[in-house]
Amino acid sequence: MLRHVPLALLVLASLGCDATTEDRLRACGIVSEGYLPRLNFYDDACYRACFAGAECDALLGAICRTDVSLLVECDQQCAPRCDDGSLIGLERVCNGFEDCEGGEDEEGCAPYVCDDGQELMGSDHRCNGWSGCRDGSDEEGCAPDFVCGDGTEYQVHHRCNGWTICEDGSDEEGCASFLATCE
């Protein structure tokens, strides 16, 4: 039975889940070959570069949360700043809530407009796997990213997430597993 990749690794991998970062995680012996989910929480070029260039011990420390200095370093380099210099996470920009004292984190943000006219703050609502619109229009007409062995179609975020959704279990096959040991 494969051990699934822990959430901390998925978050870290999503910070820069490109071929270079995946190769680095594998070269460090942190994950096996196989499909590595991408969560897209912080899909940003700065974070990708920061994590791809990290030492193996620093990557493992960040994943296991035994040494968060790499996370702090990457945040210092990459996280958005309010006008007063305080850092906020990328997920807090254009989320509909003023996290900066002056509200600059919400300036210039275009809302996503649902078919029924409902407006949602942020640009990541379309086909993200979760219906934000009351009428569900943000999830209509989305192309499936993954097809089960029996032909049932799902979006790729269901693949290798630890929960079997395909009747034949094919969504949990060929997944990367966590190889390193957290102490």
d(CA 1, CA 79): 37
**Which tokens sit at 6?**
């822990």
Name which of 19, 75, 69 is nearest 47 in CA terms.
75
Q: Which domain holds residue 48?
A: 1-78+143-183
Looking at residue 15, its pLDDT comes to 45
pLDDT digits (tens, 9 = 90+) for 98-146: 999 999 998 888 888 999 999 887 767 788 777 889 999 998 888 777 8
44 is a domain residue: yes
d(CA 63, CA 161): 17
In a 3-state reduction of DSSP, which class is residue 153?
strand
**Which tokens sit at 29?**
């012996």
d(CA 57, CA 64): 10
Burial of 161 (0-12, 13-18, 19+ CB in 10 A): middle
Q: What is the total count of domains within the chain?
A: 1
**If you average pLDDT over residues 80-102, what whole number do you get?**
88
118 is a domain residue: no
Phi-psi region of 169 (alpha: psi -120 to 50; beta: other; left: phi over 0): left
150 is a domain residue: yes
Confidence of residue 2 (pLDDT cuts 50, 70, 90): very low
Confidence of residue 11 (pLDDT cuts 50, 70, 90): very low
89 is a domain residue: no
Looking at residue 112, its pLDDT comes to 85
175 is a domain residue: yes
113 is a domain residue: no
135 is a domain residue: no
In a 3-state reduction of DSSP, which class is residue 71?
helix
157 is a domain residue: yes
d(CA 87, CA 77): 10
